[in-house]
Amino acid sequence: MSSVVGIVPLYNHALTVPEVLSGLQAHGLYALVVDDGSTDGGADIAERWLIANGAGGQVIRLAHNQGKAAALLTGFAAAANRGATHALTIDADGQHDTARIAAFLNALPAECPEQTLVLGDRRTLPRNY
């Protein structure tokens, strides 16, 4: 059985991270927010939101900005340490529609190998593409 967590790389998106966390919570996902040296208080806002909403999750703070790749790698390591078999990455700026999370989760087979990769594209493709 697979265990999926949501990884949210965060860099200066204090205004939009609560909505992203709400979307993860709506789908029952534990949220690993990796703050990449934000200066806008986004990490504090994420922590307060998680506590106030009783959502499963944690905020990991990087000492300084290291880039999105470093934030994701930190999140993947934290997910593995939690025993997660899979991770769904979603940007903190709100550009990804959290309503589509269900489609990703439904794309995972019931007995899902650890190497499964499900990719999405936020652009709408024409019919019969």
Domain map (residue ranges) of the chain: 4-107
- Residue 128, pLDDT > 60, answer no
Q: For residue range 83-94, what is the model confidence (pLDDT) as tens digits?
A: 998 899 999 999
Q: Name the one residue in this structure whose structure tokens are 């967590």.
A: 5
Which tens digits make up the pLDDT trace of 33-78?
Answer: 999 999 999 999 999 999 999 989 999 999 999 999 999 999 999 9
How many C-beta atoms surround the C-beta of residue 114 within 10 A? 7
Rounded CA-CA distance 121/126 in Å is 13
Q: What tokens appear for 122 in the block?
A: 């936020």
- What is the pLDDT of the chain when averaged over all its residues? 89
78 SS3 class: helix
What fold does the segment set 4-107 form as a domain? Spore Coat Polysaccharide Biosynthesis Protein SpsA; Chain A (3.90.550)
C-alpha span between 76 and 40 (Å, rounded)? 24
Evaluate if residue 31 carries a pLDDT over 90: yes
Q: Tell me the DSSP string of 45-58.
A: HHHHHHHHTT--EE
- What pLDDT is recorded for position 104? 84
